[in-house]
Amino acid sequence: MAEKVQSSKGFRLNPALIKWCIYLCHKSSAYELISKGKILHLPSQCTLRQYSNALNSSAGFSNELDEQLFRDMNVPTLQEYQKYVGLLGNETFIREGLVYDKSTAKLMGYCNIGNINNHFFWRKNIWKRI
């Protein structure tokens, strides 16, 4: 029989639960209903923000990810017609609750995709090497 939790503070959270809470909090208003309705003991939105900002991420295109995709695709073995790809950007929005990070002087939650021309120039050089 599980022990009764006296307080919602001070208990260890399962990583799967944290991921689910972050997803639910960003995609639906149901998170607030569940946490305020005492249906489940869920971490506060402040706690979720701390978990989601634990890793430094950057906006824009990831050259490291592109290199990994090229390695996994084994580009030199592809036919010429198989090397043509298209990138499509569908949605852009600015979300509520932007947070200013004092340590880096950056606005968290704002998406700046960077200069697309620099990325295409870098991409062209990668294709020349392959």
Q: Model-level pTM greater than 0.75?
A: no
Place of tokens 């639906």: 28
pLDDT digits (tens, 9 = 90+) for 71-103: 888 878 888 888 887 766 555 555 566 676 777
For range 57-81, the mean pLDDT: 75
> Inter-axis angle of helices 63-73 and 116-129, to 10 degrees?
30
